Every structure is written in structure tokens, then in C-alpha cells.
Amino acid sequence: MRVPGLIYSDSNLFPDIEKDNSCDQVYNVAHLPGIVNMSIALPDIHWGYGFPIGGVAAFDLNEGVVSPGGVGYDINCGVRLATTGLSRDDVTPRIKELVDSLFSNIPCGLGSKGKIGLNRRSLTEVTKFGARWAIRQGMGDESDLERIEDQGVIESGESASISDRSFERGKDQLGTLGSGNHFIEIGFVSRLFDEKVAKSWGLYLDQITLMIHTGSRGFGHQICDEFLSRMIKSVGKEKIDLPDRQLACTRLNTPLAREYLTAMAAAANFAFANRQILMNMAQDTWERSMGLSPHELKLHLLYDVSHNIAKIETHCVGGQPNKLCVHRKGATRALPPGHSLLPSFFAHTGQPVLIPGDMGRSSFILVGAKGSMEQTFGSTCHGAGRVLSRNEAIRKTKGRSVEQELLNRAVYGRSAGRKTMREEFPEAYKDVSAVVDVVQKAGLARKVAKISPIGVIKG
């Protein structure tokens, strides 16, 4: 190990963490060239490809590496939260009608195709301009951009090194939710922890919210897959000794690294555009379903965060500012008050941090805290974290109706297939309340509000 491994947890969560090989993956990541300070895992840690999900690692630009396994297959999978002017009493009586309408109008499920057909030229524009592309097509407002991480675009996104196969997979998937743990959720603010911050963000008790969780779909998956294959071949040439071939990487000063980072940024921009479009589709559906005007619905973006990304950022190391390549895989940026990257309306509070839980319990809105910059390269957890594999979840739910179990919890759910509901049933995940308690006690982020679900669409 070139650096120590550090896992944020407590005595209640750690037994679940030890059930898979994710702790070994923290150990393995600590062997990579140029890693700085620590190989870090957050309390939602579970096994992933190469890096653990819930992992953070930063690398020196001269000696360090970039690894697609440290970003993940779903590049810029992330979460978007919007608030409304509606209360719980306004929506609960009509939640079935609303969820059914959203499910009918928003394509979801494995391999789903959207209504926005793209050719090579238009998809290239998406990869360059991100959420701004969608806004230029009339899907959203310019003011949304300041409420999206990186203003909805990573400027280094380029398409030159992206294959025809990647474009083919992506051209019909913009404006689709996808499958697995991706979701659209209608919830309400069920508790406030920091009333001052909540008020400044426009949050109040019983307020209805919209949460969207998805990423770059098959476009990003194909890019990840192809660069992993290339890096597996390059490791020997670069004389990088790996404890696990899934950590395939290349040094940051190589042409291959530059190609990957620009292609990854292009996929990230696709994901930013995708979430922007899905929010616009949800708004149109919601207004039609409930007979509301935009003024009555008052759907406004609070924030949109990435949690599968690698970025060149400046961090303090040994008392000096250093540019590093920070990998966040299943980890969310959590900038504290006063950080230079925050827009003016978040400068005094810190960055909103969106932590979705499972579809039957709750999610949380946090705010970035000073400890994140001191300990985790400005990062915190990204969700609850799985405790059961998808196969285990299927076995556990044999003969059960997860849809009915959700109804018993006052949550109406729809999915593209019953298998998805079974894979994603609540007990397949840690209790997100315990996860956010750990990061709050560690000083990485603070709780602002709790959101309880009343309706959910799964891919």
C-alpha cells in the first residue's frame, strides 16, 4: 500500500460492509501509483468494479493515474431534486394518477428508447454543451444551470475519441430513465433539521418534491467498457503493477488518459442533458395529469449532483494547493460555505447534497461542511448503499409482492418489470438514516431535511 485505507462507518453499519469484498477494494486502490493521502470509502460502501462503490481517491497529475473503474460504467450517474409549490395534501389523493402518467410518458427499463432521435451531429452537440443543449431546445430555463454541478457541462468534453458504437447506443437514449436503481420519485419534506438553511433554499414541511436518479445510459457504459479494454492492454507497457486487473488504468500524463478524460466528460454532459430533459418531461406530464399551470405547480430545480466522475480539482495537500485528479465512484461532492466554485446563492450555506435512500423509506438533503475539504477531497456519501446483491434480493423476495408491501408503507410504485422491484426492495439497502448520521458526525456534511416518498417509478 502506498497510502492507508480509511473507511467511514460505525459499529452498526460495519458488519454489513464486511459481508462483501469492498474492504479489499479499498486496500487495492491504495496500491495505485500517485495516490494522495488516503484510499477512502464512505459509509454507503459496497462492492463495485475495481474501486468500491462509495470510494474516493485522488491522484497526483505527474505520477498518478486515471482508472475507469474509479468512475464506473454509468458515467455521471447523479441525482436531481426539484421543489414544488404543492403540499402533501394536494398530491396524495391523486398519487396513483400522477405516477401512472409519469410511467406512461417517460421511457424506462433496460434498453428503453426516447422520443428525442439524435444524429451524430446533434449528439456531438449534446456531448459538448450538456444541460445547456437541452435548455436551448426549450427544455428548461437558463437559470437552471447555476443549480447544476459544473453549471451542467464539463468543458473538456470532446467526441473525437468516442467510437461509432458508443454513438449508436446513445442516439436513442436521451430522455430515458434506464433500469436498475434509476428512479423518479415523488416525495414530501417530512422533517427539517436546519430551518435556516432550509428556508434559504425554499424548503418547508409537507412540501412536495421531485427526485430524478439516472446517468449517461448505454452511451457512458460503452465508453467505459472500451477504455477499460484499452487500459488493460496498456498497463503492461506502462509497467504498472496492479493487485486487481479491474483497476486497469493509465498515467495521467499519457495521450490515452487525455482521450479517456475527454470522452468521460462527453458522457457526463450527456447525463446532465438527460436529467434536464427528464425534469422537463416530468413537469409537462405533472401539469397535464393534475390540470395545473406552471405557476400553480412551481417546479423549481434545487440542485443536480454527480456521483460517478473523475475531475481535475485543486486541493490542499501538505499545506500547499495541488491539482489532483479526484475519482468519486458512488460519492458526491460536498462543498462547504465560501468555496470558490459555489454560485452566489449557495455561497453562505454551502452546496446542497442529495442523498437518496430506498424507495420505501426516506432520502435526505444535506449541506456541504468544512470537514469534507479537510478529510475527503470535498466528498461525502451518495446514497444508502446496497447490502444485498441483486440475485440475493430476488431470492429474498420470492413469492412476495413488493408493490403491495410498498402500498402498505403508503408508497405507490410502478416499474418496467416485477424483477426490478424485487431487486430494489427496501431491505436490499442500508438504512440511509444511519449512513447520513455517520457523515454528519464526521463533519463531512450536515442534515438539512428529510424527504419521505409517496410515489416512485423504477426502470
Residue numbers annotated as active site:
382
Q: Which residues pair with 394 in a beta bridge?
A: none
Given a contact cutoff of 8 angstroms between Cβ atoms, the answer to whether 391 and 424 are in contact is no
Q: Which residue has the cell 431470492?
A: 395
Output DSSP code: residue 68. G
Strands 65-66 and 78-87 come out as unpaired
How is residue 127 written as a grid cell?
A: 456531448
Q: Which residue has the cell 495537500?
A: 317
Nearest to 10 by CA among 362, 333, 438: 438
**354 in helix, strand or coil?**
strand
Given a contact cutoff of 8 angstroms between Cβ atoms, the answer to whether 4 and 36 are in contact is no
Beta strands in 247-336 (DSSP E): 250-251, 300-306, 308-317, 320-329, 332-333
* 217-237 and 255-290 helices, crossing angle to 10°: 170
- Cα distances (Å, whole numbers) of residue 20 to 155, 243, 336, 388, 413: 37, 17, 32, 9, 29
